[in-house]
Structure 1
Amino acid sequence: MSVSAPAPRTQKGRLTAGLPAEALENAKELFNNRRAGYSLEAPFYTDPTIFKMDMEGIFSNHWLFAASIAELPEPGDYVTVEYGPISLIVLRNDEGGVNVMHNVCRHRGARVLTADSGTTGNLVCGYHSWTYNSEGDLIHASAPGEMNFDKSCFGLKKAHSRIVAGLIFVCIADEPPTDFDETSKIFEPYLAPHDIARTKIAYQQNIIEEGNWKLVMENNRECYHCDGHPELACSLFPTWGLTEDTVPPHLEEVWERNKESERALEERCRRYGLPYEVVEELDTRIAGIRISREPLDGEGESFSPDGHRLSKKLLGDLRDFRLGRCSMHLQPNSWFHFLGDHIVTFSVFPITEGKTLVRTTWLVADDAVEGDDYDVEALTHTWKQTNIQDRAFVELCQQGAASPNYEQGPYMKSEYQVEAFINWYTQRMQEHLA
């Protein structure tokens, strides 16, 4: 008797299939009763049932930022990406693209690759040595007596991938959302001048935050707490997210300096033909986005104490260091800073309902020489410290959400992007549950 592969199942319902009907109905009611303008109810941050629903409705259905092409410079280079129960292999192929495969051996489910990153030829499972090529095809499965074993039926399961302006996105849905094409057209012109394909990794940091993934994203989407980031405040204007009628008296002088820097940056961008306008569609499209080019304080070049460049090498074909930062937010799991001298990417991968991995990667020009053109400690200092501070803020919020005395609180005007993120999340989950 020959062995054949079972018919594939759709993504929808895989993770929540075993949940009690009552738990699902209770969760649906929470989504339907979401109070606009207020933080979410505690179960959204603490309930394992809602976490499983998030993994299915958001992380199994939408495009996620996984890595940059700079992390996979050569064919055979790979990274593994894990979130919730999902593990993916993102592998650079011979044609310059990437193959994305589920990191689950088709024999008995063992992890095929266990390292975070590396280089490989064939993919060999360490359990029984089932071997797959770079396309995920099973090419070796030696087993005594298996005369009619059809290896073609047992390749690694595939996921979708896209490379846009050097950023790699993955989606494990059977049919990924199609509006990502339109979102890509929005951000590609902003990012292309920085030319990620001609960068390399200077440093990568993985932080585990003891908090729900939504709290991590909420914290990123506002600067109301930025007084808690003294290193970042040297170069990032603390008036970010404010409007003229919401600027407190102690920041009025900073507000005026920011506006003057904005005018100078806009003139510089027009001179070089760089897009800079704000595009903000965080909750009005499935692939929500906010992107703009914004000035930095001091010399306006980089995230340093005086705003001076941190690498001597300009990225891509840029002709000026004083370009502030091109800031991009993408729903649901990423944000980015593109500067003249380096790039910082951030990706968020949920682990459990109360634990999240935040991965930060610093990229510099591929011909920049460490110790000559840049110093790693200086390059990474601001965001390393900011990440540590943000981790503490997120963990405080998770502890509060777990308290029986937690109540929903109102978002302030400067936290409008938090409201947009939560509104996007609620819409997507209601669509999924419907």
Structure 2
Amino acid sequence: MDVTQHLSLGDPLEPARKATADMLQTRERTYSLPQPFYCDERVFDIDMQEVFHKEWLVAGMTCEIPTKGNYLTLQIGKNPIVVVRAADGSINAFHNVCRHRGSRLCTKEKGKVAKLVCPYHQWTYELDGRLLYAGSEMGADFDMKHFNLKPVNVKVAGGYIFICLAETPPAIDNFLSTLAHYMEPYDMDNTKVAVQTTLVEKANWKLVIENNRECYHCSGSHPELLNTLLEWDDTDDPRADQAFKDHVAQSAAAWEAENIPYLHAGFGLRNRIVRMPLLKGTVSMTLDGKQGCKKLMGRIQNPDLGSMRILHLPHSWNHCMGDHIIVFTVWPVSAQETIVTTKWLVHKDAVEGVDYDIARLREVWDATNDQDRRLAEENQVGINSTAYQPGPYSKTYEFGVVNFIDWYSERVLANLGAEPAAYLKEVKVHE
């Protein structure tokens, strides 16, 4: 069979697409997903095509590419991407693929270049993606303007770089304008990544996110984190007592006096920003609750800002404190393997060994990430069993997980072009 005949057979995932849509339309809303969503490589491929290739993703931070020619790379499924700072200061994103024979252009995680040059045959591109040089070997009739790099949608707000591989990305501007407002006190252009870690988890990406979306497991698993973290992120939480509500009110008064944004901002189920105090007497997510960095960020004067929690589905959560910010991103590798990156950001003028100690800065979340890794991996091992069947979520302790699965179900069905599930008709998924 030649290639043309093979391609005429259509999409080999089509049966899996139909089965996926049917499972999402008929599942019990407040129960975990059917087994294939956590184990099956065909469903994983659908997740990549219908979620990670069509939704906005956090590619990195603007401070990571501060000047002309600075770039960072990432891998989204089978797609290598490069994000680069252009000569005019703008940020561009491209498929990290040479238009000659498809070689990857930038092979390092981060770097600085004058131009984007393919290491294979030295085709050279401007930082705005235009092909500048292909060599006389291509012939006199070769038209370079037809071979520019393929662009990727990019938006920047509040120090975050968002990219989307879809031709027509979903709306996100309302969230981004709010994010910029909430991040203003931090002056993100004057920050730096103090340290970054990468953790490989032998678990499906949705299990990693589900674990993050609830603190039902925290008291039994995260002693270091609970030295400072208050598990509730809303005074409307049914478990919140009066002492917690009073603590929130006192903290909010101090934040308001310093003109620090703190009110809960929600955009459907995809995005949420809320500032919550830490445990009384603590100001930062360190083991002793004291500042992890002596130099505060931006215009902040009061280290006791609690933690501003930012959620961005499908793959990022963040903790923003007065002295440092922690950015988490989740990157699926296969049906049962996921990469979690963690970045600790501080003021760009903070001096390591004087203002902060990297080991102290990262020790709480190093421990917490590894604890969560073990939980997710054991969760995956159990789900792989023939005994697994979807189990009920707690409506009080695991409502965040229900919200995530609602969002996931709605987006996959919509992106597949399938009928929406009846159980989602009353759920506000969009902003």
Superposition TM-score, scaled by structure 1 size = 0.90
Map residues 222-261 of structure 1 onto 2, 5 A cutoff. 222-227=214-219, 228-239=221-232, 245-246=238-239, 258-261=244-247
Matched, 1:351 2:308: no
Residue 360 of structure 1: CA displacement?
A: 0.7
Task: Provide Cα deviations, 1:165-191, integer angstroms capped at 9, x if missing partner.
Answer: 11100011111112x011123332221
- Inter-CA distance 152–231: structure 2 relative to 1 (3 Å threshold): same
- Inter-CA distance 150–57: structure 2 relative to 1 (3 Å threshold): same
Residue 256 of structure 1: CA displacement?
A: 5.7
CA contact 2:265–2:274 (8 Å) conserved in 1: yes
Letter in 2 for 1:270: E
**Residue number in structure 2 paired with 1:208:** 200
- Inter-CA distance 326–117: structure 2 relative to 1 (3 Å threshold): same
CA contact 1:300–1:323 (8 Å) conserved in 2: no
**Residue number in structure 2 paired with 1:68:** 61
Task: Provide Cα deviations, 1:394-427, integer angstroms capped at 9, x if missing partner.
Answer: 1111212211111111111211011001100100
- Inter-CA distance 193–145: structure 2 relative to 1 (3 Å threshold): closer
Task: Provide Cα deviations, 1:51-75, integer angstroms capped at 9, x if missing partner.
Answer: 1111111111111111011111221
Letter in 1 for 2:18: E
- Inter-CA distance 130–17: structure 2 relative to 1 (3 Å threshold): farther
Map residues 125-144 of structure 1 onto 2, 5 A cutoff. 125-142=118-135, 144=137
CA contact 1:298–1:306 (8 Å) conserved in 2: no
Q: Measure the CA separation in 2 of the matches of 1:55 and 1:29.
A: 18
Pick aligned residue for 2:282 from 296, 300, 310: 300
Letter in 2 for 1:84: G
- Inter-CA distance 117–35: structure 2 relative to 1 (3 Å threshold): same
Pick aligned residue for 1:89 from 70, 82, 90: 82
Letter in 2 for 1:181: D
Question: Which SS does the other structure have where 2:398 is aligned?
Answer: helix
Pick aligned residue for 2:359 from 368, 377, 386: 377
Moved more, 312-321 or 258-267: 258-267
**Residue number in structure 1 paired with 2:180:** 188
Q: Measure the CA separation in 2 of the matches of 1:350 and 1:108.
A: 27
Letter in 1 for 2:247: S
Unaligned runs of 5+ in 1: 1-13, 248-254
Q: Measure the CA separation in 1 of the matches of 2:73 and 2:84.
A: 9
Matched, 1:114 2:107: yes
Q: Measure the CA separation in 2 of the matches of 1:23 and 1:201.
A: 41
Task: Provide Cα deviations, 1:111-141, integer angstroms capped at 9, x if missing partner.
Answer: 1111111111111222222221211112222
Question: Which SS does the other structure have where 2:137 is aligned?
Answer: coil
- Inter-CA distance 21–323: structure 2 relative to 1 (3 Å threshold): closer
Q: Measure the CA separation in 2 of the matches of 1:39 and 1:260.
A: 35
Map residues 17-56 of structure 1 onto 2, 5 A cutoff. 18-56=11-49
Map residues 395-406 of structure 1 onto 2, 5 A cutoff. 395-406=377-388
Letter in 1 for 2:375: F
Question: Which SS does the other structure have where 1:269 is aligned?
Answer: helix
Question: Which SS does the other structure have where 1:96 is aligned?
Answer: coil
Matched, 1:272 2:264: no
CA contact 1:298–1:308 (8 Å) conserved in 2: no
CA contact 1:242–1:414 (8 Å) conserved in 2: no
Matched, 1:362 2:353: no
**Residue number in structure 1 paired with 2:303:** 321
- Inter-CA distance 127–43: structure 2 relative to 1 (3 Å threshold): same
Letter in 1 for 2:376: V
CA contact 1:282–1:421 (8 Å) conserved in 2: no
CA RMSD of aligned residues (A): 2.0
Pick aligned residue for 1:79 from 72, 75, 78: 72
Superposition TM-score, scaled by structure 2 size = 0.90
Residue 270 of structure 1: CA displacement?
A: 1.7
Q: Measure the CA separation in 2 of the matches of 1:120 and 1:398.
A: 42
Matched, 1:341 2:323: yes
How many pairs are equivalent?
A: 408
Question: Which SS does the other structure have where 1:144 is aligned?
Answer: helix
Letter in 2 for 1:91: V
Q: Measure the CA separation in 2 of the matches of 1:144 and 1:315.
A: 53
Pick aligned residue for 1:422 from 393, 402, 405: 405
Residue 239 of structure 1: CA displacement?
A: 4.9
Task: Provide Cα deviations, 1:180-236, integer angstroms capped at 9, x if missing partner.
Answer: 011123332221111111111100111111111111111111111112111111010
Residue 305 of structure 1: CA displacement?
A: 2.6
Q: Measure the CA separation in 1 of the matches of 2:130 and 2:237.
A: 59
Residue 142 of structure 1: CA displacement?
A: 2.1
- Inter-CA distance 268–128: structure 2 relative to 1 (3 Å threshold): same
Letter in 1 for 2:110: S
CA contact 2:235–2:245 (8 Å) conserved in 1: no
Q: Measure the CA separation in 2 of the matches of 1:223 and 1:266.
A: 23
CA contact 1:19–1:49 (8 Å) conserved in 2: no
CA contact 2:175–2:267 (8 Å) conserved in 1: no
Unaligned runs of 5+ in 2: 1-6, 418-431
Q: Measure the CA separation in 2 of the matches of 1:262 and 1:220.
A: 22
Letter in 1 for 2:70: D
**Residue number in structure 2 paired with 1:124:** 117
Residue 147 of structure 1: CA displacement?
A: 2.4
Question: Percent identity between the aligned chains?
Answer: 38
CA contact 1:63–1:169 (8 Å) conserved in 2: yes
